[in-house]
């Protein structure tokens, strides 16, 4: 089983995260940020990655540090669980419709962090969250996971639908990318023979 545990402690946050890439989408998530909990539950359920997460932070200041550090912790755990990234598909692509909104996520577990965010959110808040924090979460995840991630909302009006579509599309793209391909065996999916910086 490809598992990892990350405990990240700073002067701003305390985060403990366990995951199993080969799970069934079981989650136990408590971050004190209701909308983010909902998004991470969607991510777990649709990626089939088991996630146990506890997070506290300086939410009396704002939600930025906690949101970003959760993204970093999740990305770090994915990277550790993947190890040398041998035998995986590496790439994933998903389109997710949610009522009037359509979102697309493409991912490459290349160990070259990069993030493109083509999502326009006109409202400043969703629940208690500043909408600009969703980009920060995806950026933090891509950076720590060593992933190239392209996120786009092709169209949509309801901001809840747009953001939830982004997390669900990430889940499905990640589910494809981390999947083991029996034809690969134990080889790394790169002509280099290694994905740069793999653990």
Q: What is the pLDDT of residues 134-144, one digit of tens each?
A: 999 999 999 99
Calculate the alpha carbon distances from 49 to 40, 88, 124, 130, 185 in Å. Answer: 11, 15, 30, 26, 22
Q: Are 14 and 57 in contact (CB under 8 A)?
A: yes
pLDDT tens for 74-112 read 999 999 999 989 889 999 999 999 999 999 999 999 999
Q: Which two tokens stand for residue 69?
A: 């550090």
Quote the CA–CA distance of 8 and 74 in Å, as a whole number. 10
- As a 3-state breakdown, the chain gives helix, strand, coil percent values, each rounded to 5, of 35, 30, 35
The predicted structure's pLDDT at residue 189: 63
Among candidate residues 29, 42, 6, the one with its CA nearest the CA of residue 168: 42
Provide CATH code, domain 3-178: 3.30.230.40
Quote the CA–CA distance of 197 and 70 in Å, as a whole number. 22
Calculate the alpha carbon distances from 167 to 7, 50, 127 in Å. Answer: 23, 15, 16
Domain boundaries, the chain: 3-178
Identify the sign of the CA torsion 49, 125, 140, 153. positive
Taking 60 as the threshold, does the pLDDT of residue 198 lie above it? no
Quote the CA–CA distance of 163 and 144 in Å, as a whole number. 21
Q: Confidence class of residue 199 from pLDDT cuts 50, 70 and 90?
A: very low
Q: Confidence class of residue 195 from pLDDT cuts 50, 70 and 90?
A: low
Residue that has been written with the tokens 């770090």 in this structure: 76
CB count, 10 Å around CB of 170? 28
pLDDT tens for 168-189 read 999 999 999 999 988 877 777 6
The predicted structure's pLDDT at residue 184: 77
Mean pLDDT of the chain: 93
Q: Which two tokens stand for residue 90?
A: 């590496």
């Amino acid at each position: 089983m490809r598992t990892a545990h990350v405990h990240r402690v700073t002067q701003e946050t305390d985060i403990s995260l366990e995951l199993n890439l080969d799970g069934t989408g079981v989650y136990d998530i408590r971050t004190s940020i209701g909308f983010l909990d909902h998004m991470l539950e969607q991510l777990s359920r649709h990626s089939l990655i088991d996630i146990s997460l506890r997070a506290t932070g300086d939410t009396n200041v704002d939600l930025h540090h906690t949101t970003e550090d959760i993204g970093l912790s999740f990305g770090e755990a994915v990277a550790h669980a993947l190890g040398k990234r041998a035998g995986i598909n590496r790439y994933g692509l998903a389109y997710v419709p949610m009522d009037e909104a359509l979102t697309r996520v493409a991912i490459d577990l290349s160990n070259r962090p990069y993030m493109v965010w083509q999502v326009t959110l006109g409202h400043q808040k969703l629940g208690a969250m500043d909408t600009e924090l969703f980009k920060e979460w995806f950026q933090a995840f891509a950076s720590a996971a060593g992933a190239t991630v392209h996120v786009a909302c092709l169209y949509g009006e309801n901001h809840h639908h747009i953001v939830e579509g982004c997390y669900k599309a990430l889940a499905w793209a990640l589910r494809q990318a981390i999947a083991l391909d029996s034809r690969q065996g134990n080889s790394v999916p790169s002509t280099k023979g290694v994905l740069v910086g793999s653990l």
